[in-house]
A and B are shown apart, each in its own frame.
Chain A
Amino acid sequence: MSALDRQLRPIYDALDMGSHKSAVVSCNKLIKRYPNNLLLKALKSLGLVRSQKIEEALPLLEEVLAAKTTDDATLTALMHVLRLLGRNQDIVSMFENAYKQQPQNEDLGVQTFFAYARTGNWKVAQQIATRMHKQFQEDRYLYWSVVGALLQANDLATPPEMRTLLYKLAHRQVASSPSPSYLSAERFYLHLSILQELQLYDEANKLLESEIGKSICSTSLPCNYLRRQIWRARGLYKEEAERAKDLILEKNDRNWLEFLSIIDAAFPPKESGQEPVTDAIPETRDFFNKIAETDGVKDRSGLLALIELEHRARVAGGTSDITVLKALLQKYFVLHSEKACCFEDLKPYLDLSDADRDEWTTFLDSQRSTLESATDLRCLINVHKLQRFSLPASKLTAELESGRAASYIRDYKEGLRLGLELPETELQLADDLAILAGQALVNAWYLSKEQAYLLQAVALLEFTLSKSKVAYSVRLMLIRLYRLLGAPTLALNHYRALNIKHVQNDTLSHFALSRATTFSLASTGDITYSSECLETSQVYLSNSNETSEFITRAFHGERYSQIPNFIEFEERLENSLQRDLVKMEHVRMRMIHEPIVSDLIDMEFIELKIILDRYHFDNRDFDIMPNYQPNGQPSFEVQTRLFGRNAGLGWLRVYLKMFIRAFQHASDLDDATEDKLLIGDRPKKSSDPENQLPLVERLNKRNLEEESELTEQELKLFEWALTLADWLEPYHNVARPPPTVDGQKTSNGETGSSARKDDAPPVRSTPDLVVRFFDDVQSEFEASVGRDCLPSELLHIVTIIQEAVTLLVAETVRFKSTSVVKIHKLSQLVQSLKEVRTKACVSLKETSESLVKSGENYGTADSRKAFVDACSPIIDDDLVHHDFVLNIAKNVCDSRKKTLEGVGKGGLKISSAYDKA
């Protein structure tokens, strides 16, 4: 080991341990002694970037990059720096350059391959792998090349004819391999998937029929999955069914896929174009009957398969007798009603006629028994769930639902006795009865808009949670209800108690953060929600830092079956809708928390534009919310959406357009400066044709489908913002400083635009809507206060007015400079704007004052008493005690008081800040 090597060790250690500063200090010392050492400079820039000193790191980085080194250690250090900066294109050119200089260096070849893989450039990656295979004669490079071709084929941008060509190329390559693909299950998988795509079924069959092929399929689920697909594509339903029967009989396999295979032989799926095989039905029925008889209560597959068979026969319009299906449903219930999943199992088959449904309900009635054991309890829960599911519309009124809730609660009380001995870490056996009651109460509210039902639901569910501390589904329900009730702090507490981690931040954070600005107290300096937004977004950083690493590992380990899905996973997280919904909320909160100045405007302008170019994937998990609402009613999840509208892709796009337009007006950024500010590669634009239009056109394009996700007030805000922007646009265009030349501003913009001075359009008077909006929304607010609406609705209106004020500030920040006004003769405009601003601020002030007053009302004993009174139907001294409800009432009232007062005071602060400005 050389002296330098020895001295390098502590630097690596420091970097590994996260002591980036000390790594930089050590580098500095050594650089004095070895001023030309590239590795030291690369390591120093890594330390700097990791300690967020990006500006200091950049010159050093450029210097090392320019040297075009081939030294392994330096390249690795540089790769880490560039990856942190998101400059994947530079990683590509760096390794490509090095590999060109040393074409014999296998390691550099591998790195170049991965660099291209990371940028999704599979075409070049594939060519490199082919070259490496020729040069280094290693089989795996051949397979890398095959994967490269397949991934290129699967790219959406690849035209269909090209796709087939690429698969054919992959096929030739696999065929040319010196060793057969069946030596490994993963290569075998790859080979099969190519044959499947090219429909070379004879060849696929040869592989599958071989001894080794059969053995691979028996242990490898992915290969077996492909085999099944191929057989189905060939129309071999009968053969597949025989195989499945063997597995079920010989190996006692109870995988539902095998049962489906048998049913598919009798009723081939539509896409196969085959007719039902009526002869096969009796035989299939016998087979399932036999299985059902042998398995009995032990396994439900046989009986469930019989039901599926009868159901398919009915759907296919065959001769199936409804009495057979009804008898089977009853038999299933009798045998399996003690299993918690009985309801979920039967649900798909309950599309019965009115008369049949009544008969089914009566049958279920006869199945109730006294509650002596956990089994009885599960059976009773299934009775309730199934009966509730089949309730006809005529029996759905608030009163009836409330009565049902009472009966569920009675059974819940009984059922709790059976779980007294359970440890705290277990779910109570009777939980589902309380959940059913909660759902019935919420449905009663949904039908009548009577808030008392919501309060009862909250009190009951809180009680349930006190008995069953780990019941996460109860927490999810409470989160939704507390948000509706304007008690977001309690919702957030439950959300945190769920202990959401890692990837769940993507799929579940919508519960806490959808339209969270409504509840944010950022205007008063409380950044709880802003921090929650930032924390939840960490998962996207770890995705972009870590997932690609595993794609390379999967290549190294030749786990080809996983690679496409790893890539899909990475893409779905990277382009997650929830990610950008959270980002949008964060920007909205910044606007009420920070001064609206060019730092904020420019940065968010760039980021929001990038988001507008994205193709989004919706990974939000809504199915996790339990739903036991009657068939035909909206689900519990839908019923409890804040403001009754799901803020999804449409909402995001409208908000993006609205904010980008305002920021574009406010910003002096031009493309050249923007590129300099942007660290890292520009993300690939999605191939959506709309993305090809110029930005201005895209921003002005309206889309009714998108707008349908907005609330009434949001839509008004959007129309207001459009009118305001249209009105001001010509003046912005005149007053904006000209683009910079060579990155240098020609002037501070005030004299530089003299050439366009004459073009200043005459000032148009204020469009009617720009002022009327505030009157409109304010009178809506006053009407809402009068009609006992949900507190969340009041919060919504005030935060929308507040948003209008901040957007107005952004739109007019340019005209604050007296010299701009003077040069472009805009004083008349400024006068009009002042009137608008005063109007806006007064409106915000008055509604905020009223909100503060409403908040104060929640601090009184009367309001707690009203809460408890509303809950009287569910208060029971042996179950939900009066004092327990009083405590909940106190929590809810406190949270409402805090939020309404807080948002109101924040609104006052903003209105006075911008009124004076």
Chain B
Amino acid sequence: MSVIRPMQATDMLKFNNINLDIWTETFRINFYLAYLSRWPDLCCIQESSATAEGLSTEWHGHITALSVAPEYCRMGLSRALVLHLEYVSDEMYKGFFVDLYVRCTNSAIKMYEGFGYSVYRRVRKYYGTLGTDKGGRDEEDAFDMRKPLSRDPMRRSVRLNGRDVLVSAQEVS
């Protein structure tokens, strides 16, 4: 059973089962509070009776953090969360596209492609190391992936050769 509900500040006390995963960064308290105090309607959580299954927050058409507990992988949870955020971005905020960052080694890239996202550019050294000594550049670089919304029917916000477009982390933040 998966319940989608708004995220609250006190959920920070309960999100360990998704945040101990190495792909998910646990941010400072003020990171979450900053999102909640600006776009509460874009922060949501999906849970079963006792445990958080997934969490996502979006920054104006940007998926900032999306993580799903291991037991709940491969079940369309991410799709539900992403769809909800796309819906709100489209309806409420009238955005042109939604984007997200992901480590080049993250196996979630395929999933995002399945949702209609494509690589727009590659951002050098966007992430810190995972400390596994493997993966090298792919581990620290991020793909900036985008999906056009209904206000961009000509798909101007995406391109085909995104994987070859390199930018440094300084240029994007």
Contact = CB atoms under 8 A, between A and B. Distances in A.
Q: Does chain A bind chain B? A: yes
Interface of A: 185-186, 218-222, 225, 254-257, 259, 298-301, 304, 339-341, 344-345, 348, 423-427, 469-470, 472, 498-499, 501-504, 506-508, 539, 542-543, 546-547, 549-550, 553-554, 557, 559, 561-562, 565-566, 568-569, 572, 619, 621, 623-624
Given A344-B71, A569-B9, 18 more contacts: A219-B92, A225-B6, A255-B80, A257-B4, A301-B2, A340-B70, A425-B130, A498-B20, A502-B28, A507-B14, A508-B16, A546-B29, A546-B30, A547-B33, A550-B36, A559-B37, A568-B10, A623-B17
A554 B37 contact: yes
Most chain A CB within 10 A, of B13, B44, B132, is at: B13
Contact of B41 (A185, A345, A543, A568): A185
Contacts of A561: 6, 40
B33 A550 contact: yes
A222 B40 CA distance: 9
B6 A221 contact: yes
A786 to B, nearest CB: 41
Nearest to A553: B37
A42 B128 CA distance: 40
Contact of A624 (B3, B17, B34, B75): B17
Nearest to B45: A221
Most chain B CB within 10 A, of A221, A508, A624, is at: A221
Contact of B36 (A219, A472, A562): A562
Interface residues of B, number: 54
Which 9 residue pairs across A and B have the least CB separation, nearest first?
A: A569-B9, A550-B33, A221-B6, A256-B1, A472-B20, A501-B26, A340-B71, A554-B37, A565-B8
Interface stretch (B48-56, B115-123, B141-149): B48-56
B74 interface: yes
A591 to B, nearest CB: 31
Nearest to B25: A501
Most chain B CB within 10 A, of A426, A543, A559, A562, is at: A562
B83 to A, nearest CB: 9
A219 B88 contact: yes
B4 A503 contact: no
Nearest to B70: A427
Contact of A221 (B13, B44, B71): B44
B30 A423 contact: no
B73 A502 contact: no
Nearest to A470: B22
Contacts of A499: 22
Contacts of A225: 5-6
A542 B76 contact: no
11 contacts: A256-B48, A304-B1, A345-B48, A423-B134, A504-B16, A504-B26, A507-B13, A550-B30, A561-B40, A566-B37, A621-B14
A257 B48 CA distance: 10
Contact of B5 (A221, A427, A569): A221
A185 B41 CA distance: 9
A341 B48 CA distance: 10
Contacts of B12: 503, 569
A566 B33 contact: yes
Contacts of A257: 3-5
A261 to B, nearest CB: 12
A340 B71 CA distance: 5
Contact of A503 (B1, B23, B29, B70): B29
A201 to B, nearest CB: 22
B135 interface: yes
B74 A572 contact: no
A348 B49 contact: yes
B49 to A, nearest CB: 7
Contact of B1 (A221, A301, A424, A549): A301
Interface of B: 1-6, 8-10, 12-14, 16-17, 19-23, 26-30, 33-34, 36-38, 40-41, 44, 48-51, 70-76, 80, 87-88, 91-92, 105, 107, 130, 132, 134-135
Contact of A339 (B5, B13, B28, B75): B75
B80 A426 contact: no
Nearest to A221: B6
B33 A572 contact: no
B3 A569 contact: no
Contacts of B41: 185, 219-222
A431 to B, nearest CB: 9
B128 to A, nearest CB: 11
Nearest to A343: B71
A554 B43 CA distance: 15
Nearest to B17: A624
A186 B36 CA distance: 12
A173 to B, nearest CB: 22
B72 A341 contact: yes
A313 B8 CA distance: 33
A301 B29 CA distance: 34
A554 B30 CA distance: 12
Contacts of A345: 1, 48
A43 B91 CA distance: 48
Contacts of A502: 26-29
Contacts of A546: 28-30, 33
Nearest to A555: B37
A344 B37 contact: no
Contacts of A507: 13-14, 16
Nearest to B53: A341
A218 B17 CA distance: 29
Contacts of A218: 91
Contacts of B135: 423, 425
Nearest to B139: A425
A557 B27 contact: no
A18 B50 CA distance: 43
A550 B9 CA distance: 11
Contacts of B44: 221
Contacts of A470: 21-22
Given A341-B48, A506-B13, A256 B37 contact: no
Contacts of B1: 256, 259, 300-301, 304, 345
B2 A254 contact: yes
Given A348-B49, A502-B27, A557-B38, A562 B105 contact: no
Contact of A426 (B3, B33, B107): B107
A403 B155 CA distance: 60
Contacts of B75: 300, 339, 341
A259 B37 CA distance: 30
Given A504-B16, A562-B9, A341 B71 contact: yes
Given A424-B134, A504-B19, A550-B33, A255 B3 contact: yes
Nearest to B28: A502
A339 B74 contact: yes
Nearest to B76: A299
B26 A623 contact: no
A256 B29 contact: no
Contact of B9 (A498, A501, A539, A565): A565
A311 to B, nearest CB: 12
Contact of B16 (A339, A543, A621): A621
Nearest to B26: A501
Contacts of A185: 41
Nearest to B41: A220
Contacts of B6: 221-222, 225, 561
Nearest to A374: B74
A290 B61 CA distance: 35
Contacts of B132: 424-425, 469
Nearest to A552: B37
A547 B105 CA distance: 35
B85 to A, nearest CB: 11
A186 B37 CA distance: 11
A218 B44 CA distance: 14
Nearest to B22: A470
A559 B6 CA distance: 13
Most chain A CB within 10 A, of B1, B14, B27, B134, is at: B1
Nearest to A347: B49
